[in-house]
Amino acid sequence: MRSTRFETRSGSRLGTRRLRRKLRMQRSDRHSYLWSPIGRIIPLVVVGLIWQAAGTFRLVDPSFLPSPVRVAYAIADLLTGREIRDNLLVTLSRAAIGLALGSMAGVWLGLMMARSEVFRAYAAPIVGGTYSLPKSALIPLFILWFGIGTVTTVCAVFLACLLPMVVNTFQGVRSTPRVLIWGAEAFGTPPKGMLWRVFLPHALPDIFAGLRVALGFSFVLAISSEMVASTNGIGKLIFMYGENGAYDYMFAAIACVVVVAFLADRLLLIATDKCLRWHESSARRELA
């Protein structure tokens, strides 16, 4: 009798269902209240109460840390106008372009590094040297090259999304078990078909994991670059609110960004689950 782990990895739907059922039972048995909607909201409520108490009891200056009530009124005011919507759409378009270009280029470079030793010998030092470099430190250089505007923001997002995709794709391909390669060869898979039938499918979980990291970086770099290298966008709007002392509106704009980023991350997780339904991580993601 085969184990659930073996059945899941082999792509068996029965194994995947068993694993999902087992994980669901474990979650219901251990601290099930933590996974309910109320349990997940509790930390936000606690943070909000501490925040409100800090302003009420003058632990911090309310001028610099507005209360949640003031921020809520500011959010309502922003949502009734077009300023937040227009600037948010500009930022999302820039982040999406940089994310798409960086992800596609990163997957290609990762595949090339994994399959070509000559290419890896030249590319690995560059990737390793720039991976740990704060990408925001290159924004002044992009301003010098491309000026203030969309191109600078897209380039910053592109570089931030490129490197995690390269590393994750490379790791996913290089970690392909030899038994899969031998099995594909035994079934007559040609060398040119190994990439699409063996290496790339095996690397998909790592690629999607890198894409989730890149998604977060796209928001960070888009907003950071807009603060200093753009005349519009949500980053510039946040910077202007802070510069003018409208801290309640600044926090309101930040809250809108957090909500949009959270929704984007949830949508990516749903897409990942649909594309990797055959993989055991699809069942374990129910715990996330």
Beta strands in the chain (DSSP E): none
Question: Are the C-beta atoms of residues 99 and 159 closer than 8 Å to each other?
Answer: no
Predicted local confidence at residue 279, as pLDDT: 63
What lies within 8 Å, CB to CB, of 264 at 6+ separation is 215, 219
pTM, two decimals, is 0.79
Question: Are the C-beta atoms of residues 33 and 41 closer than 8 Å to each other?
Answer: no
Q: Which of 228, 241, 235 is nearest to 152 (CA)?
A: 228
Round to whole Å and give the CA distance between 104 and 99: 8
CA distances from 135 to 125, 144, 225, 266 (A): 17, 15, 10, 25
Predicted local confidence at residue 262, as pLDDT: 92
CA distances from 81 to 74, 75, 139 (A): 11, 10, 31
Domain ranges of the chain: 66-287
Low-confidence ranges of the chain (pLDDT < 50): 1-11, 283-284, 286-288
pLDDT in tens, 192-231: 777 777 888 888 889 999 999 999 999 999 999 999 988 8
Predicted local confidence at residue 4, as pLDDT: 43
Question: Are the C-beta atoms of residues 69 and 76 closer than 8 Å to each other?
Answer: no
Left, alpha or beta for 32 (phi > 0: left; psi -120 to 50: alpha)? alpha
Tokens of 55: 């302003």
Predicted local confidence at residue 12, as pLDDT: 53
CATH class of the structural domain 66-287: mainly alpha
